[in-house]
Amino acid sequence: MSLQPIWAIQTRSRQIDLEQFSAEVRPVSGAMGAYVHGLDVRDPDFEQLSRLLHSFKAVMLRGQPADLSIADYVAFGRGLGELAVDPYVEPPFADHPEVMGLVRDADSDAYNFGGDWHSDGSYLERPGGLTVLWGKHVPTHGGDTLFADMELAWETLTPAFREMLDGRRVLHAATGLGQKVTIRSKGDYVGLDRSRDLERIEHFHPIKRTHPETGRHALFVNQAYSVGIEGCSDDESAAILRFLFDHSGLPAMTARMVWEPDTVLIWDNRMTTHYAIGDYGGQRREMYRLAITGETPF
């Protein structure tokens, strides 16, 4: 039997009918992702946006109003679903606790928040459904966001391996950034809420996750928060998870989405993982994030 080395894996390009959308849509890669022109977050077409997300999993809405306000942005997020408040991070706006600020000054050498493969809030009982990220001030180059298509990652595992994983659960856990790295200056990039002790949050979720609207399946593990497989020894879990992390991060599974001014990025955490690239030292980056609460994975 001829086997293809994992690093040389080749996948089929997704074929999506772009004529179904009134907006201008340009796919980013064969796996996933799209740049979209013609959708205004102050007058959103949520039905079309839902179809775009089901098709591409992550979409960058270009050409947003230059005078977009935080209130406008939050109103758009509320139209997508229930807004969550991060359990660890101190919000930058007292009137909008659901907004997370991701601000890095040009001379900062702080920890690159989001600089590993992760799915937002996967350690919660109801992990993040959608995430919305507004690039209020972006570097002239660098600071792109990488995505991995976890539906494609599941599909490209061998049938025997999928059978072994199907029905098993993974423990997702987090205790805040305080245990990962020392934050040198509160608010320098992302401010931990130090008004209370940071408690460990953990939940088991299925390795094979089903999307509640499309019924499609995805591999639901990520490097940042997946720490062990139920029923496996530590060594077995570590080996299997390492393979799954490497597999899902293969170039053929990914899309690199490039920021431009006046852009809002939306992605589905159920079907993707993402990675914030920290290659823009010497440039300022100001982003604001909204998290749409998802359902308990099944």
Asked if residue 113 is part of any domain, the answer here is yes
Reported as a pLDDT band with limits 50, 70 and 90, residue 211 is very high
Task: In whole angstroms, give the CA distance from residue 257 to residue 18.
Answer: 19
Q: What is the mean pLDDT of the chain?
A: 88
Asked if residue 217 is part of any domain, the answer here is yes
Asked if residue 185 is part of any domain, the answer here is yes
Asked if residue 12 is part of any domain, the answer here is no
Query: Which residue range(s) make up the domain with 144?
Result: 23-293
Asked if residue 2 is part of any domain, the answer here is no
Tell me: the pLDDT tens digits for 14-44? Answer: 889 999 999 999 999 999 999 999 999 999 9
Task: In whole angstroms, give the CA distance from residue 136 to residue 290.
Answer: 13
Reported as a pLDDT band with limits 50, 70 and 90, residue 194 is very low
Tell me: the pLDDT tens digits for 146-186? Answer: 999 999 999 999 999 999 999 999 999 886 544 443 333 33
Q: What is the mean pLDDT of residues 256-264?
A: 97
> How many structural domains compose the chain?
1
**Any alpha helices (H) in 57-118, and if so which ranges?**
70-80
The percentage of the chain sitting over the pLDDT mark of 70, rounded to a whole number, equals 88
What integer pLDDT is reported at residue 5 of this predicted model? 66
The percentage of the chain sitting over the pLDDT mark of 90, rounded to a whole number, equals 74
Asked if residue 51 is part of any domain, the answer here is yes
- Whether the predicted pLDDT of 192 surpasses 70: no
Tell me: the pLDDT tens digits for 79-138? Answer: 999 999 887 778 888 889 999 998 888 887 766 767 789 999 999 999 999 999 999 999
- Whether the predicted pLDDT of 1 surpasses 70: no
What integer pLDDT is reported at residue 297 of this predicted model? 97
CB of 62 within 8 A of CB of 40? no
What integer pLDDT is reported at residue 86 of this predicted model? 82
Q: What is the mean pLDDT of residues 266-291?
A: 95
The CA distances from residue 162 to 88, 153, 207, 257, in Å, are 34, 11, 10, 29
Domain of 162, CATH number, reads 3.60.130.10
Instruction: Tokens for 77, please give them.
Output: 């997020």
Asked if residue 261 is part of any domain, the answer here is yes
Task: In whole angstroms, give the CA distance from residue 16 to residue 10.
Answer: 19
What integer pLDDT is reported at residue 236 of this predicted model? 94
Q: What is the mean pLDDT of residues 48-60?
A: 98
Asked if residue 99 is part of any domain, the answer here is yes
* Residue reference for tokens 């493969």: 117
The CA distances from residue 176 to 51, 184, 269, in Å, are 34, 15, 19
The burial class, CB within 10 Å (0-12 / 13-18 / 19+), for 266 is buried
Reported as a pLDDT band with limits 50, 70 and 90, residue 48 is very high
Closest-CA residue to 59 (of 11, 100, 102, 18) = 18
Task: In whole angstroms, give the CA distance from residue 252 to residue 106.
Answer: 32
